Amino acid sequence: MVKKMKLNMLRKIGSLTLVLAFFFNQTAFALPQVDEVVEGNVTIETPDANTMNINVADPQAIINYSSFDINANETVNVNLPSSTSEILNRDIGSDMSNILGTLNCNGLFILVNTHGIYV
């Protein structure tokens, strides 16, 4: 009887541990976090909590991010001067980039992350 109670208790603890590990292991995605504009005339607006507008006035731009993530309910709009314009986006953080929402760009958009990109 005591062994059965111990076994049931261990199962409950094991199940609780798995549930807690699942919830605490989830990454909190957010709009991209700009670290620095390296090159180009760039303005960044967040009109609401789920939208980011990156406006670039020059034909080429480079931006470093501490993280570049877009959650499922989020939108990032990159407005370049023309369809031949280019923007290099470097995620220099320690995690992979997660693109689960909407990314719009009217030119060449390059995202670099040495930890990977999940789309």
pLDDT over 80 at 98, yes or no: yes
- Per residue in 26-69, pLDDT (tens digit) is 445 589 999 999 999 999 999 999 999 999 999 999 999 999 99
Asked, for residue 70, whether it belongs to a domain, the answer is yes
β-pairing, 108-112 with 86-91?
parallel
Domain count, the chain: 1
Domain-located, residue 10:
no
Q: Is residue 17 part of a domain?
A: no
Look up residue 51 and give its DSSP letter: E
Domain that holds residue 59: 27-118
Q: Which two tokens stand for residue 84?
A: 């031949």
Which token pair is 66? 């501490």
Query: Of 104, 60, 112, 102, which Cα lies nearest the Cα of 79?
Result: 104
Please write down the HEC assignment for all residues of 62-82: EEEEEECCECCCCEEEEECCC
H-helix segments, 1-119:
2-24
The answer as to whether 35 is a domain residue is: yes
